[in-house]
Structure 1
Amino acid sequence: MRSEEQQKVIMEGVVVFTPEWRLLAHEAGLASYSLRGGLASLRKANYADQQIYYGGFFQYTIGLERVMKLALIIDYLVENGTLPTDRQFAKKFGHKLTDLLTGVADVRSRLDPSARVWELPDPDMTDPAMSALSDFAIGSRYYNIDVLTGKAATQNPVDRWFSEIGRPLIAKRKQPWKDIQWAHALDSAVGSGCSILFETEDGTLVDTFAAAARAAHESEYVAKEGTFLCARIARHAISVLVARGHQVPRTFQIPNLVEFFYIFMNSDSYLKRQKTFAG
């Protein structure tokens, strides 16, 4: 808690770096760092390097969880004039991102209608994406270890992402795919003189140049559109956090939260162009 002297200085409009201020700043910084790292990994994920998907899911889900829990903490502060003291407050939702997103929706319901909040993507993509990401955060992040050690396994998270999010994204694609006749011609010319052995994200065998070219095109498209989808989900949660932060009483000093998330508070066209999410 703040001392009377700190309280007096805050009321006079001077920023005091209280322990609470530092903790909120560090947590917002960590959330931003994790989100940006996760999205950068997902943007370059591909069928031949599937470990990049896992790394992307790890960082992104950690960052998204922390943003949404920060929104709930700030909401509590606005409603009660103090930070929560119940140890179980932040643990109530665990790693269940779907429940946290519902909590964020509840926070949004208390915002002024004029507050600038970025909308979620359409439910037909947000719902399966959040379900897959939530299950990853809860348990399927251990999928490989679970299978290796004989535990009842969840679904392969990369397979699930590509099947439930990637394939629908591909089905929505309006522009024609790049011509891969060159790959078919190469298969005919080389024949059995070359051995190719990979799997796509959903386990389809890649054993020809044509299959490899098709898989590469699909991976790149899903990486671009899937990362954009995740960035928009994060932007929504961040915008609720920032808007609720503006309602914190002046008697309680918090960081300017938007400073940690500037890169996300931009248009769709800007987010879609991002590959490294640096900044």
Structure 2
Amino acid sequence: MYYNPIFSAFLEEAQFTKEILAIGVTQLYKANYATKGIYYQSFICLSTGIERLEKLCLILDYYIQNSGALPSEKYIRSYGHKIPELYGACRDIANNRKIQFHFQYKMDKNIHYSIIDVLGNFAESSGRYSNVNILLGNENKKFDCIEQWFLTVDMPLYNKHVSKKRKTGIEYRATVIGSVLNQYSVTRFITEDNKELIDAVEGSRRTGIWEAVAPYRQLYMLQIIRYLTELLIELGYKAMSNKAMSNQSADIPHFGEIFGLFYNDNSYFRNRKTWDKP
């Protein structure tokens, strides 16, 4: 056995990407108006992981197209941190190479794309450093990704998937809790959409919304990850089986072994909350 730097680079990049995505998906379930810092933990892991996963797909596609040659740094850097554009490039690769996916992936043009847009905006400095930009007087460079997530992901999920009965229960519970707690307590929070939360009724309502949509957040995010990991796995197989690159086949790890956690159906996704532990 000999040391292959290309194999090791592919392997270690894939391992890092898998781990950081697992952390991001786990934290995504926990984030709400009372723990807004967890949104940032999740977004930084997910945006980094998705971008690197997309770029792995682009690198491997180039590798196949050019008989084992690797792209230049300029080729990959030309995409910057533009996650939506990278995602579009990955979709093109899948279509052009007629990839047959085991898991059928139907994009919700509102919600899935909104998730990608939020992560894309967070990957840019106006999203990652939105609070710092305010402190430095650069409010025109501020982009609030938490607010965007709440308005374009959470609320559409709530309206699409949460039953009328559960919504009624959330409102009833909020009214009861508010009637008791507002007499004896003071509530002060800033909501995801930057509104002042000053009573227990709204606090309970927001908690109910979060509890209802958290599993669907993970499901939709995992569907995006599964699509990209399945694309990477299939590209890996194509590279290994390409006779024109028989001498380079040892460059490619079995990506399915690395990303197997995400190679599962929706029912498995729905029944698991924690992804950063075996």
For 1:187 and 1:85, locate their aligned partners in 2 and report how far apart those are by CA, in whole Å: 59
Give the whole-Å Cα distance in 1 for the aligned partners of 2:15 and 2:234: 17
Cα displacement (A) at 1:186: 4.4
Structure-2 separation of matches of 1:182 and 1:118 = 38
Instruction: Decide which moves more: 231-240 or 152-161.
Output: 152-161
Question: Cα 1:188–1:222, aligned 2, differ >3 Å: closer, same or farther?
Answer: closer
Residue type at the aligned position of 1:268: N
* Per-residue CA distance 1:130-156 (angstroms, 9 max, x = gap): 112111101211111111111123331
Identity of paired residues, percent?
Answer: 26
Following superposition, the deviation at residue 85 of structure 1 comes to 4.4
Query: Using the alignment, how far apart are the partners of 1:33 and 1:189 within structure 2?
Result: 44
Which stretch of structure 1 is more off in the superposition, 123-132 or 230-239?
123-132
**Contact 1:65-1:97 within 8 A present in 2 as well:** yes
Distance 2:23 2:7 in 1: 24
> For residues 43 and 213 of structure 1, do their structure 2 counterparts lie closer, same or farther at Cα, with a shift above 3 Å needed?
same
- Residue number among 126, 134, 142 corresponding to 2:129 in the alignment: 142
Structure 1 residue 35 corresponds to structure 2 residue 26: no
The match for 1:213 among 182, 192, 204 is 204
Could you tell me which residue of structure 2 aligns to residue 8 of structure 1? none
Aligned-residue offset at 1:16: 4.6
In the TM superposition, residue 200 of structure 1 has moved relative to its aligned partner by 2.2
Where do 1:216-235 residues align within 5 Å?
216-235=207-226
Distance 1:255 1:189, change over 3 A: closer
Letter in 1 for 2:131: N
TM-score (ref. length: structure 2): 0.88
Aligned residues: 265
Highest RCO, 1 vs 2 (Cα 8 Å, sep ≥ 6): 1
Task: Say yes or no: does 1:69 pair with 2:65.
Answer: no
Partner residue, 1:165? 153
After superposition, give the CA deviation of every residue in 1:172-231 in whole Å (9 maximum; x if it has no partner).
134222355455344334554311111321123332222221111112233221222111
Give 1:118 shift. Answer: 4.4
Between structures 1 and 2, the one with greater helix share: 2
Distance 1:113 1:131, change over 3 A: closer
Change beyond 3 A, Cα 1:244–1:226: same
Contact 1:74 1:245 in 2 (8 A): yes
**Paired residue for 1:251?**
247
- One-letter identity of the residue aligned with 1:267: D
Q: CA–CA distance in 1 between the matches of 2:232 and 2:96?
A: 12
State the 1:167 CA deviation. Answer: 1.2
Contiguous gaps of at least 5 residues in structure 2: none
Q: Which moved more, 1:267-276 or 1:60-69?
A: 267-276
Pick from 257, 269, 272 the counterpart of residue 271 of structure 1: 269
* CA distance in structure 1 between the partners assigned to 2:112 and 2:173 by the alignment: 37
Instruction: List alignment gaps of at least 5 residues for structure 1.
Output: 1-14
- SS of 1:49's partner is helix
Q: What RMSD, in angstroms, separates the aligned Cα atoms of the two structures? A: 1.9
Residue 124 (str. 1) matches residue 122 (str. 2): no
Cα pair 1:71 1:244 within 8 Å, conserved: yes
Query: By how many angstroms is 1:83 displaced?
Result: 3.1
